[in-house]
Amino acid sequence: MNINTTRYYELLEVPVDASQEDIKRAYRVLALKYHPDKNPDPSAAEQFKEISEAYGVLSDPERRKLYDQYGAEGLKLFEGGGFGEEAAYVASMMGSIKYIGCLFCILLLVLILFPIFIVVKTKSGGVSWSWAKVFSPMWILVGISTLLFGIIAIRIKKLGTTVIFIQHICVLLFMAFLTANLDGRTHLMWAKVFIPIYILIAANMGKKYEVFKKDAYEKRFTDPEYLRPVTNFGLGRLGFWIRSFYTDLHACWFFVFLILKIDRAVGWTWYINSIPLFVYIGTYFIIMFLDNSAKSKNLDQIDEEDEGGHKFFVSIFCCIMIPVIIFIGLLAAHLTSDKFLIAKIFAPIFILLGLFFCGFCLIFCLMSFFGDKGYDEFAKNMGMDESNFFNVVNQKLQRPQRFLEGTAISVEQSSSSGEQNV
């Protein structure tokens, strides 16, 4: 796999271990040489933009560290184009894509243990573990994630990251209340056990407060700050709000039905409780196509690669949802009339997680053992024009990028600021 981490240094004509003073000095010399006002060559302006971009990265220690580890496309991916600032901080700590891959592999294996523990606990003649022990894989996963986001929240000091950390705390509290009630150590009403979930959903909705800003709806196709090219169901501003909180509203519906059922406030079957999930999955398919249609109509340039990326994610979503739908149906049938063995109910989940694990191992082996040549051949056979892994991922996750390049935050504006600095 080809991850170029030296191009910016080559543009500035400095070694990879150059000091900040050396980088600054080299930039000044090259900026004067290629400044459009001083160099009539038509290619000088483009060269000047590239030099300014390289200097913008290498002059910032944090961005330089990410670039040295993951290259330009990896930097863009982690800085917000794909995963956000939290991912950038995690990536800088990990130091290598191989370390990230190994960690992901280990965590996936731990996750697979959770449904296995549930099966051996609940099957006839199963183990006598406490529910706290059954949830041990989730304690590990959520505990590591909470610790990580706690460190990031302290380091970044941003509201969004702090909210995510609070949500992780809510998940830990919910698991503590849940296992205590299941083990008989407490006898709370289930409505009280789910209090951390109420807080989690409320916090998630609170993070989206910007959709209520005065210009958020009008500017959602024109201003990068509010860019949300999604359908509004033909309901104008109200539809835009509904779309923004669609998942949260369905979560509220699901948990209200669940609490009413387990607290025995209603006598309906578990099939009724599965309705919110089936409705969400079904309507989400429709919304995916409506969102894509809204993007196609409002973004300036939609090419075949963008359409291919959309079809790719739709295919992945379908592959994931089919086992999930089967699992939900089997679980509802089991809880209603005990028709199926618990091991058979979880079979779709085992298949799904197993496919994820095998697929990840295959990709990781291609990247690790076959090197650049082997991965590039694989990418070519898969129809990927670029050999850079991060470039491929970025293209899939940054669909509105060409639209943004035509707005007020374009690269040309960045080069103008570079000209002023010179």
Q: What percent of the chain has pLDDT over 70?
A: 71
pLDDT level of residue 240 (50, 70, 90 thresholds): confident
Q: What is the pLDDT of residue 70?
A: 67
The whole-number average pLDDT for the span 388-398 is: 48
Residue 422 has pLDDT above 70, yes or no: no
> For residue 125, how many other CB atoms are within 10 A of its CB?
5
pTM, two decimal places: 0.69
Q: What is the pLDDT of residue 3?
A: 57
pLDDT digits (tens, 9 = 90+) for 332-384: 999 988 878 888 999 999 999 888 888 877 777 766 555 444 444 555 554 44
Which has more pLDDT, 298 or 119?
A: 119
For the chain, the structural domain boundaries read 1-95+391-422
Distances in whole angstroms, Cα of residue 333 to Cα of each of 117, 121, 339, 410 = 21, 19, 6, 55
Residue 218 has pLDDT above 80, yes or no: no
Residue 13 has pLDDT above 90, yes or no: no
Residue 279 has pLDDT above 80, yes or no: yes
Angle formed by the axes of helices 97-122 and 61-76, to 10°? 70
Tokens 């919910």 -> residue: 174
Distances in whole angstroms, Cα of residue 365 to Cα of each of 106, 361, 370 = 15, 6, 7
CATH number corresponding to 1-95+391-422? 1.10.287.110
The CA distance from 328 to 400, in Å, is: 34
Q: What is the pLDDT of residue 2?
A: 46
The CA distance from 65 to 95, in Å, is: 9
Q: What is the pLDDT of residue 277?
A: 95
Residue 142 has pLDDT above 60, yes or no: yes
CB–CB of 422/28 below 8 Å? yes
Considering the chain, what is the average pLDDT of its residues? 77
CB–CB of 206/163 below 8 Å? yes
pLDDT level of residue 414 (50, 70, 90 thresholds): very low
Please give the structure tokens belonging to residue 378: 């694989």
Q: What is the pLDDT of residue 222?
A: 60
Q: What is the 3-state secondary structure (H, E, C) of the chain?
A: CCCCCCHHHHHHCCCCCCCHHHHHHHHHHHHHHHCCCCCCCCCHHHHHHHHHHHHHHHCCHHHHHHHHHHHHHHHHHHHHHCCCHHHHHHHHHHCCHHHHHHHHHHHHHHHHHHHHHHHHHHCCCCCCCCHHHHCHHHHHHHHHHHHHHHHHHHHHCCHHHHHHHHHHHHHHHHHHHHHHHHCCCCCCCHHHHCHHHHHHHHHHHHCCHHHHCCCCCCCCCCCHHHCCCCCCCCCCHHHHHHHHCHHHHHHHHHHHHHHHHHCCCCCCCHHHHHHHHHHHHHHHHHHHHHHHHHHHHHCCCCCHHHHHHHHHHHHHHHHHHHHHHHHHHHHHHHHHHCCCCHHHHCHHHHHHHHHHHHHHHHHHHHHHHCHHHHHHHHHHHCCCCCCCHHHHHHHHHCCCHHHHCCCCCCHHHHHHHHHHHC
Which has more pLDDT, 216 or 144?
A: 144
**CA angle at residue 299 from 294 to 300, to 5 degrees?**
145
The CA distance from 220 to 205, in Å, is: 18
Residue 19 has pLDDT above 80, yes or no: yes
